[in-house]
Amino acid sequence: MPRYISYIVTSATVVVVWYAISLQIGALLLPDPVSVLSLLLTEAGSARYWAHVGASSWRIFAGMGLAFIIAVPFGLVVGTNPKINKIVSPFISMSYPVPKIVLLPIILLLFGIGDVSKIILIMLIIFFQVFITSRDAARNINKEMILSFRSLGGNKLQYYRHIVLPASLPGIFTSMRLAAGTAVAVLFFVESISATHGLGLYIIDAWGRADYTSMYVGIVSMSLLGILLYEFFEILERKTCKWKHTQ
């Protein structure tokens, strides 16, 4: 089944189930999907709505982009160098289990309530997931492939470019797709307590005013942002790992 057909079927199923639940518990608590989608289309014509969407999009793409740019090279280098891995592993083991969200007050004190603090928190939370995936992918490269490359006389740069990176990319993109959901959750949390614009603020503001239709518009918008992120990394994987999808 084509991918877009799957999305249409899934979306239709969600709308039907949503409408059925709305009829059961009442539109006051759960507005029907027609009302929410109608308001979403209306809001899409306002600059205020797009200011919220733009702020959230910038923060999440910047945070995930930084995590990718920093964590992937670091993970690949550590994964291919046992000596460096022995030095780094204890620090990762100690810091990875710490919930990074508890660092929010410190980050806000250091960087203020603007975009920088939100981007840094998203980057910190995503960094470890991407780093560990990159490191483990580099460590598990087929030994015969490495020996074959060395027998051809390739240098270190060529080794990373033609062996390590291509072999690790599928796992890296999988971790980025999984991290998209985490990033959206973190974004909602930070925007709901310290922001002047953003979909998290949009949702909390509507909830505080008991404007539940607007609240669900914000929830749908943030969900769509997560879906777009997931699909973005899916497309990147298909473009850069064509060899995987032809097997």
Residue 244 has pLDDT above 70, yes or no: no
- 241 lies in some domain: yes
**CATH code (residue 139):** 1.10.3720.10
- 14 lies in some domain: no
Confidence of residue 6 (pLDDT cuts 50, 70, 90): confident
Q: Which residue range is the domain that position 94 belongs to?
A: 32-245
What pLDDT is stored for residue 156 in this prediction?
Answer: 75
Residue 195 has pLDDT above 80, yes or no: no
- 239 lies in some domain: yes
Rg (CA), the chain: 22
- 64 lies in some domain: yes
What pLDDT is stored for residue 245 in this prediction?
Answer: 57
- Residue pLDDT, tens place only, 79-109: 888 888 889 888 888 888 888 888 888 888 8
- Residue pLDDT, tens place only, 16-49: 898 898 888 877 788 888 899 999 999 988 899 9
Confidence of residue 243 (pLDDT cuts 50, 70, 90): low
What pLDDT is stored for residue 27 in this prediction?
Answer: 76
Prediction pTM value = 0.84
Cα–Cα distance measured from residue 219 to residue 206, given in angstroms and rounded to the nearest whole number: 11
What pLDDT is stored for residue 89 in this prediction?
Answer: 85
- 206 lies in some domain: yes
Structural domain tally of the chain? 1
Mean pLDDT of 174-190: 90
- 18 lies in some domain: no
Residue 246 has pLDDT above 60, yes or no: no
Cα–Cα distance measured from residue 140 to residue 64, given in angstroms and rounded to the nearest whole number: 25
- 71 lies in some domain: yes
- 10 lies in some domain: no
Q: Is there a contact between 101 and 185 (Cβ–Cβ < 8 Å)?
A: no
Residue 1 has pLDDT above 70, yes or no: no
Question: Who wins on pLDDT, 98 or 216?
Answer: 216
Residue 242 has pLDDT above 80, yes or no: no
